[in-house]
Amino acid sequence: MTDSAPFVVRQARSADVRGIQAMLEPYVQRRILLGKDLVVLYEAVQQFVVAEDASGQLIGCGALHVMWEDLGEIRTLIVADEWLHHGVGSAIVEGLENNARALGLSRLFCLTFEVEFFTRRGFAEIGEAVVDPDVYSQLVRSPDEGIAEFLDLAHVKPNTLGNTRMLKTL
C-alpha cells in the first residue's frame, strides 16, 4: 500500500454492519472501546459512515449519535492499523461533521484516548458543566451509556478511566 492508495468515505449500509463489528471487536477486547451487540449496530447503522479501499474492503468507520438539539457525539471511530496515518480517520471525522451540520448540530463531543488526533481537528478538553441545568436534567434520563459518559456520571467512571472528554464547536 502507498500513501496515495484510494479510499472513499460513505454512509454505512446494513450490509456493512458485520464488518463494523469485526473492526470493533479487537478494540473491545483491549478495553479501548465499548462493545456493541450486533442488533445495536443494526439499529444504529444510519449513524455510521464507513471508509473502504479501492477493492471495497472496509478500512474504517465512525458514528454520529445525536444527544440533544445542538449536540452530537462522535463514537466508534476505528481505522484499520495498516491505514493509520493515511487520512482515513480525518476523512471519517469530516464526514461525521458534515452529517452533524446537516442535522443542525453545532457542537460535537467525543470521549477518547486519541487526544492529539482530536485536538488537531479543533476539539478541546472539557470540564463538567457543558450543558445548562435544564438540559442536564433531561439528558440524565437517557439510558444511553454515551450520554452518561458525556455527563461524567459516577456509574460510568470505570468505563472512562484514562479517556479524555472533548468538545468541538462547528
The Cα–Cα gap between 55 and 160 comes to: 36
Q: pTM of the predicted model, to two decimals? A: 0.85
pLDDT of residue 2: 45
| pLDDT of amino acid 154 | 62
CA 25 – CA 48 distance, rounded (Å): 16
Provide the 10 A C-beta neighbour count for residue 30.
8
Q: Which of 81, 95, 101 is nearest to 48 (CA)?
A: 95
How far, in Å, CA of 118 to CA of 110, rounded? 9
pLDDT score at 158:
55
Please report the pLDDT score of residue 128 as a whole number: 66
**Spans in the chain with pLDDT lower than 70:** 1-5, 128-131, 136, 151-161
